[in-house]
């Protein structure tokens, strides 16, 4: 059999997994991996924890060394070698040895591009001051650690409240720095819907991390070339001994576009389902590529390690002539911040609204992480989004201290298998008191949603609460109601509802609420069977607190600054 020569540009998540899979499939192939950095196959997801000294030995970030690739897999990994050009007609790449400056050429039968993405550095005044960092590589994390140690930095400003920004906030706080976050949009964690992100914001503030929402950096100021403050468009100036920019990444497409490979509408390298580019000898994987959204089918760029690894494997299969198909991304992700776990999969309500899609419902639940009678259960705030017409599961988001990622992983697989809320209702999940409940939060979410699809209960929409002329009834007990209630709601406890039903109007729609949505569901069923036009406000007062200012993060006791 002819010996194939496969060159791979980029030796981390996508590139390394492609190389290793190739070797398992083809013992004869010559495989050479180039990385312009000093390391290949390192754990970029671990970098924030190296900065925070949770991982204190840098070597632990190295998943596999070039030596291991050579001895275990007979794969040649060349670090500090930048691939600077692709000559498609002659099937060669141009490589620059970054140590010696030598330029040389290498021929390929198949070429895999896995160059990742570049952190965005906005061209703002002062951006070149020292002490302003992005985080992508081991040397980046080393520079940040050195800066903290050498300058005895006390105050850090994180620009961007996405998952890397939040992980950095936690890790810098862990090192004793005072940290604040500036975020241009009206929420942190853009992969969540705003009301779910409210929990995260409240939690950051509770951990003494002020969050400046709805504000953007105008410029950086410094003394003697070193950053001293971040000035926002609102005029607020935040003292800063260091700044972390975490405002997103751009697919690394220079090589591809110089070689006139097709790019997609989102700016990533265009690939087909087998990760093949517009050139049939060139594949591309990872953060650099544009793939399709599993749910909407739209083109998207989702920079996550799971898809990069899977795509590397698929490209290897395809190069070896195996049928392989990337099924799309659901953007399943998890992030830990100060003991809170935030996880998400599938589409958000915000994206559905933006797309003008109204064929969906969203329900909220706040179940315990395990059976209530066993000590230590923690609430999981869960939002499930599903199709109105048939109950197809479209997305889920969850926030809590325990058991969050397990529930989102189950729902992620449900989405992947095109399951419905009826499947979640029936899912058989493991249970013992310390781990879950006989009706697991995933089952409960399915049951609540299935009740809606079956027409047993109609939902009221939280977004329509302001301005509705519905009659609002809160069926919690009086002492609970006194502690706080939705403006305008009247209190008729469930235990008194049958006796006091005559107090409710028959000529107006009634919207019922309670603590977390369970008692209001009982009330809805009772009222409905008594001829009332009635809707349930999903998730009860707990959900209202996320939806409306004054609820969680914007509590006056906190220092969250929100500019509408
Ligand atoms: P990369 O892993 O970035 O590898 C690309 C490599 O290509 C780089 O080493 C680069 O030096 C090299 N390269 C680029 N151009 C050239 C060239 N011309 N010649 C030679 N070499 C080149 N994802 C998660 O799912 N969960 C997480 O918790 C998570 N945490 C993260 C935390 C941080 C701080 C960062 C930065 C990312 C995190 N990610 C996380 C994202 C995840 O790391 C990426 O999605 C994934 O690494 C992408 O893999 P990739 O192979 O496409 O690119």
**What pLDDT does 563 receive?**
33
pLDDT recorded at residue 429? 97
* Residue 250 pLDDT: 97
Look up residue 301 and give its two tokens: 């760029």
Q: Following DSSP, what letter does each residue of 360-378 receive, concatenated?
A: EEEEEE--BSS-TTSTT--
pLDDT, mean of residues 231-246: 97
The 10s digit of each residue's pLDDT in 328-371 is 999 999 999 999 999 999 999 999 999 999 999 999 999 999 99
* pLDDT of 473: 98
The reply to whether ligand 1 has any atom less than 6 angstroms from the CB of 501 is no
- Distance CA(108)–CA(83), nearest Å, equals 13
In this structure, the residue with its CA closest to atom 45 of ligand 1 is 304
How much distance in Å is there from the Cα of 45 to the middle of ligand 1?
A: 9
DSSP tag of 381: E
Query: Is residue 83 within 6 Å of ligand 1 at its C-beta?
Result: yes
From the centroid of its chain, how far is CA 55?
A: 22
Tokens of residue 360, six digits:
């969906």
pLDDT exceeds 90 at position 557: no
pLDDT at 548: 82
**DSSP β-bridge partners for residue 346:** 395
Q: Which two tokens stand for residue 17?
A: 């997994």
Is residue 91 predicted with pLDDT exceeding 50? Answer: yes
Please give the torsion angle defined by the CA atoms of residues 298, 302, 306 and 308, in that order, rounded to the nearest 10 degrees. Answer: 90
Going by C-alpha positions, the residue among 132, 117, 198, 115 that lies closest to residue 161 is 198
Q: How high does pLDDT run on average in the chain?
A: 95
Ligand 1 neighbourhood includes 312 CB (under 6 angstroms): no
The residue nearest atom 3 of ligand 1, judged by CA position, is 116
The whole-number pLDDT of residue 480 equals 96
Would the pLDDT of 554 be above 90?
A: no
Establish whether 45 is a catalytic residue. Answer: yes
pLDDT digit string, tens, across residues 50-85 = 999 999 999 999 989 999 999 999 999 999 999 999
Residue 297 has pLDDT above 90, yes or no: yes
Angle at 205 between CA 200 and CA 207, to 5 degrees: 95
Sheet holding 132-133, edge to edge: 132-133, 242-245, 155-159, 178-183, 211-213, 561-562
Mean per-residue pLDDT for 101-130?
98
pLDDT bracket for residue 466 (50, 70, 90) = confident
């Amino acid at each position: 059999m002819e010996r194939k020569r496969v060159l791979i540009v980029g030796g981390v998540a996508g590139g390394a997994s492609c190389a290793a899979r190739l070797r398992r499939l083809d013992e004869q192939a010559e495989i050479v991996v180039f990385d312009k950095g000093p390391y290949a196959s390192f754990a970029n997801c671990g970098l924030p924890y190296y900065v925070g000294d949770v991982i204190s030995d840098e070597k632990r970030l190295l998943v596999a060394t070039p030596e291991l690739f050579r001895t275990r897999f007979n794969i040649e990994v060349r670090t500090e070698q930048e691939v600077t050009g692709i000559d498609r007609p002659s099937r060669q790449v141009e490589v620059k040895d970054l140590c010696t400056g030598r330029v040389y050429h290498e021929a390929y039968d198949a070429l895999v591009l896995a160059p990742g993405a570049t952190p965005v550095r906005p061209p703002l005044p002062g951006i070149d001051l020292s002490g302003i960092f992005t985080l992508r590589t081991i040397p980046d994390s080393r520079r940040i650690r050195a800066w903290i140690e050498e300058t005895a930095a006390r105050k850090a400003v994180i620009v961007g409240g996405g998952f890397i920004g939040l992980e950095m906030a936690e890790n810098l706080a862990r090192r004793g720095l005072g940290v604040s976050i500036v975020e241009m949009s009206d929420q942190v964690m853009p992969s969540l819907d705003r009301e779910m992100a409210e929990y995260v914001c409240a939690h950051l503030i509770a951990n003494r991390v002020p969050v400046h929402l709805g504000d953007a950096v105008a410029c950086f100021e410094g003394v003697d070339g070193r950053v001293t403050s971040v000035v926002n468009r609102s005029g607020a100036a935040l003292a800063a001994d260091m700044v972390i920019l975490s405002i997103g990444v751009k697919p690394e497409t220079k090589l591809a576009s110089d070689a006139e490979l097709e790019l997609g509408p989102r700016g990533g390298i265009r690939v087909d389902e087998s990760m093949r580019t517009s050139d049939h000898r060139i594949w591309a994987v990872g953060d650099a590529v544009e793939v399709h959204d599993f749910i909407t089918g739209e083109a998207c760029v989702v920079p996550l390690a799971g898809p990069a690894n899977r795509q590397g494997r698929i490209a290897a299969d395809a190069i070896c002539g195996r049928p392989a198909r990337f099924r799309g991304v659901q953007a399943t992700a998890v992030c830990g911040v100060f003991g809170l776990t935030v996880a998400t999969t599938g589409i958000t309500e915000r994206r559905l609204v933006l797309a003008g899609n109204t064929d969906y419902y969203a329900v909220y639940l706040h179940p315990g992480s395990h059976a209530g009678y066993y000590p230590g259960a923690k609430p999981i705030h869960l939002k499930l989004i599903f199709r109105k017409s048939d109950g197809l599961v479209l997305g889920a988001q969850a926030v809590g201290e325990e058991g969050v990622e397990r529930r989102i992983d189950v729902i992620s697989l449900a989405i992947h298998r095109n399951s419905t809320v009826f499947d979640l209702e029936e899912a058989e999940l493991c249970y013992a008191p310390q781990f879950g409940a006989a009706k697991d939060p995933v089952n409960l979410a399915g049951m609540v949603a299935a009740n809606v699809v079956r027409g047993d209960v109609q939902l009221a929409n939280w977004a329509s609460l302001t301005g509705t002329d519905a009659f609002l009834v809160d069926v919690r007990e009086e002492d609970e109601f006194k502690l706080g209630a939705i403006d305008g709601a009247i209190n008729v406890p469930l235990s008194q509802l049958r006796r006091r039903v005559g107090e409710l109007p028959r000529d107006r729609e009634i919207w019922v609420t309670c603590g977390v949505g369970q008692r209001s569901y009982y009330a809805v069923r009772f009222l409905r069977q008594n001829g009332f036009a009635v809707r349930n406000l999903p998730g009860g007062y707990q959900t209202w607190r996320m939806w409306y200012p004054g609820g969680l993060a914007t509590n006056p006791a906190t220092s969250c600054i929100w500019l509408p």
